[in-house]
Amino acid sequence: MFFLWPGYLWFLLLLALMPAAYLWLLRRRHKAALRYSSLGVVQAAVAGRQWRRHLPPALLLLACAGLLVAAARPVARVPLPWARTTVMLAIDVSLSMRVSDIKPTRLVAAQDAAKLFLQEVPKTIEVGLVTFAGSSQVAQRATLDREALVTAIDGFQMQMGTAVGNALVLSLAELFPEQGIELADMGTVGSNGNRRARSLDDKAKPPPRPFTPVAPGSYNSAAIILLSDGRRTTGVDTLAAAKMAADRGVRVHVIGLGTVEGDVAAPDGMAIYMKLDEPTLREVARMTGGDYHHAGTAEALRSVYENLGSRVQVLTRETEISGLFALVSALVAITAAVLSMLWFGRIA
């Protein structure tokens, strides 16, 4: 299905008049033709080849119709591979990721699943990697180099703390470098909700560039996949960071990893409390138009990553197709000219 710009709809009238004009020209030629003494002889000579007279002109008319449609700049909704698309993986590397309730450990399961995602996602899509614990870092900028990403995944280093909001903000900073998004501009928020006072250097920095908020989930050239096994203990408020993503139209697909209740023992026998903050993580996905998945096993985690990887292959977009009409019309016109030269020795 395609649509024409309203200002060019009068071209359709020309398309309807072109066959009528051709029939009028044929009648004029017929009236001006010479009278033969034996019309039967002429009819016998051209019997079975009358269609050759009309095929080149018909093809030429078809080519002209295609060019008129191309001039109207038609657009169509067609499935196309994502162009210049970026997916940011934000993966929790807090100390709780060493727990073995997901075999062999949460961290190893997350690493294996992330590598599977790299195999499933189309090779034309850039993937970046952000790790977070008490702070967040860009482990690998968005790239098509899958080997570099695998190397970064294998090099995870665990730390204390869980700064979920920082990971989202840093991912957005990577996706929109022109907007000047800085974690320092937002201050640091602890688990008690208190915000760190900004230094004089922070106040001297220019404010972030203004932007116009868009509908959540409407930005189809980027997505964030967030994996966490606990609740935020420091850093930017998670929902405030989700609001930033929603205002930019970026979907955040969230994976909650591990035990929801959080009653898990560490490998050294010391009990640690790591209750998964599912309500907040679900709200992040809802606010941004993404999906929430709970992965309680390594198999479930691999399945989530596999599904997410296969879902970002094609996208239906409204695309101008005037070039396609122009190309087809040119080929049809060339065909008409070649047939006319072969059959009649001239371009008619």
pLDDT of residue 139: 96
Domains of the chain: 2-30+47-74+321-344 (no CATH), 82-191+207-316 (3.40.50.410)
Give phi and psi for 255, each to the nearest 5.
-120, 115
Q: Given this model, what pLDDT does residue 68 score?
A: 74
Residue 255 near residue 298 (C-beta atoms within 8 A): no
Measured between alpha carbons, how far is 318 from 191 in angstroms, rounded to an integer? 45
Please state the pTM of the whole predicted model.
Answer: 0.62
CA 208 to CA 219: how far, in whole Å?
20
What gap in Å lies between CA 95 and CA 92, rounded to an integer?
9
pLDDT at 5: 47
pLDDT along the chain (348 residues), means of 10: 49 62 61 51 52 75 78 68 74 90 89 90 88 94 95 94 94 91 66 40 54 88 89 92 95 86 52 72 94 84 73 56 82 83 71
